[in-house]
Amino acid sequence: MALLAVEPLTPVDWPVSFALIAVPLVAAFAHGPLVVAGATVFAVLFEGVLAGTPCCAGRSVGYLWDRHYVASYICTALVGALGTVLASHRTRRERTLADVRFVAEIAQRVLLRPVPRRIGNLLLESLYLSAAAEARIGGDLYEAVPTSYGVRLLIGDVRGKGLLAVETAAAMLGAFREAAHDEPDLASLADRVETSMDRRADRLGGSELGERFVTAVFAEIPPEGHVVRVVNCGHPPPILIRRDEARELDRGRSGPPLNLGMLVDDPYQVDVYDFRPGDQILLYTDGITETRDSSGSFYPLLQRLRSWGPLPPRELLEQLHHDLLAYSHNQLQDDTAALTACLLAEEPSVPHPPRAGSGEGAEPC
């Protein structure tokens, strides 16, 4: 109706009905090829209606077949054909992207499966944030495995990006999940995973692949005594969170990253720290501490943790998630992962069969 009212007021050479040419192209951005074809037919027919209305027919002799309107019909039809092709191509791309995302989500469930929310008297939670909106997995990794030696934790960051980084992360997680049950101490576990990564690098070959390495932290919370054991392989140190403090667990004895152990002769060092009921350990990748704000300042993780005070694991990582996005203005530059474990007081940290009548709920740290 608006076009019918405005059409007589516009110049003969450039009537407003020429705007109908854009209808098929606009439809191509949001709809499929059938809708675009329908929009094209509608635009051409509506141009004919405008040309045949009494208010417009007197503007020139033979108005319906005026050269301007013939050109308009032809242009609308051509744009409609182009829009139909573009819509078909866009629809295929969207389906392909949806399939890729589905495969990525399945791969993430296998590679980075969710850690148990509770193992014995440990509350656990994990976080993974991809820097790319289309991506779901990358080179950051984490795992928690209950064993007869205690609950063993892993956080790691593969050097590099892409499918090779994902393959390296998968190989490391597989080695850790198997060796965690066999190796009696944490240093032996790190050596075992190091051997697996060296063997994989030798199979791949090539100088660039041989330089690929993984930084990692191994942690163990044994069933006896309230301690946590840590082996650091060139990774940001974990953080111990208590009611009155948050501090890094770092005694300056970090070993080399995995796949670079051949460069030094010193064995991996195990550091032991007190870990009392209510304490929480946070393991994370450098994507968190290297997040920048608009001025280029790094994210102050320790300062933030101290300002929040002790929080249950889920609330802690939710707060960290939202704060990272706000600090970076939704512009994360690197993948980030975090794993946290909080010690409760009811049971040993290694799971036992549930007692009759015992509850499954967990009190917050």
- CB-CB contact of 285 with 155 (8 Å): yes
Judgement on whether residues 61 and 131 belong to the same structural domain of the protein: no
Instruction: Look at residue 175 in the predicted model and tell me its pLDDT.
Output: 93
Q: CATH number, domain at 127?
A: 3.60.40.10
Task: For 105-134, write each residue's pLDDT tens digit.
Answer: 666 666 777 889 999 899 999 998 876 655
CA proximity to 288, closest of 332, 246, 319, 330: 332
Which sign, positive or negative, has the C-alpha torsion 252, 253, 259, 264?
positive
Q: Which secondary-structure segment (H or E) carries 33?
A: helix 33-52
Q: Tell me which residue range forms the domain holding 332.
A: 116-343
- CB-CB contact of 260 with 267 (8 Å): no
Q: Phi-psi bin for 191: left (phi > 0), alpha (psi -120 to 50), beta?
A: alpha
Instruction: Look at residue 234 in the predicted model and tell me its pLDDT.
Output: 92
Provide the 10 A C-beta neighbour count for residue 143. 20
pLDDT < 70 stretches in the chain: 1-20, 46-73, 100-110, 131-138, 161-162, 204-212, 225, 261-265, 346-365
273 in a domain, yes or no? yes
308 in a domain, yes or no? yes
pTM of the shown model: 0.70
Judgement on whether residues 15 and 99 belong to the same structural domain of the protein: yes
Instruction: Look at residue 321 in the predicted model and tell me its pLDDT.
Output: 95
Instruction: Look at residue 61 in the predicted model and tell me its pLDDT.
Output: 43
Judgement on whether residues 211 and 253 belong to the same structural domain of the protein: yes
Residue 252 burial (10 A CB sphere; 0-12, 13-18, 19+): exposed
Judgement on whether residues 247 and 209 belong to the same structural domain of the protein: yes
User: Domain end: 81, 103, 125, which one?
Assistant: 103
d(CA 84, CA 28): 7
Judgement on whether residues 167 and 229 belong to the same structural domain of the protein: yes
Beta bridge partners of 292: 298
Instruction: Look at residue 122 in the predicted model and tell me its pLDDT.
Output: 93
- CB-CB contact of 157 with 349 (8 Å): no
Q: Which residues contact 280 (CB under 8 A, 6 or more apart)?
A: 240, 241, 242, 310, 313, 316, 340, 341, 342, 343, 365
298 in a domain, yes or no? yes
From residue 163, give the alpha-carbon distance in Å to each of 136, 205, 258. 12, 16, 19
User: Domain end: 103, 137, 152, which one?
Assistant: 103
293 in a domain, yes or no? yes
d(CA 97, CA 101): 6
Count of domains in the chain?
Answer: 2
User: Domain end: 60, 77, 103, which one?
Assistant: 103
Task: For 206-244, write each residue's pLDDT tens digit.
Answer: 555 545 689 999 999 998 768 999 999 999 999 999 988
CA proximity to 135, closest of 116, 162, 160: 162
Judgement on whether residues 140 and 19 belong to the same structural domain of the protein: no
For tokens 């289309």, what's the residue?
Answer: 134
Judgement on whether residues 314 and 171 belong to the same structural domain of the protein: yes
Judgement on whether residues 260 and 227 belong to the same structural domain of the protein: yes
Q: Phi-psi bin for 205: left (phi > 0), alpha (psi -120 to 50), beta?
A: left
Judgement on whether residues 133 and 72 belong to the same structural domain of the protein: no
Written as six digits, the tokens of 118 are 């509770």
CA proximity to 202, closest of 147, 272, 143, 262: 262
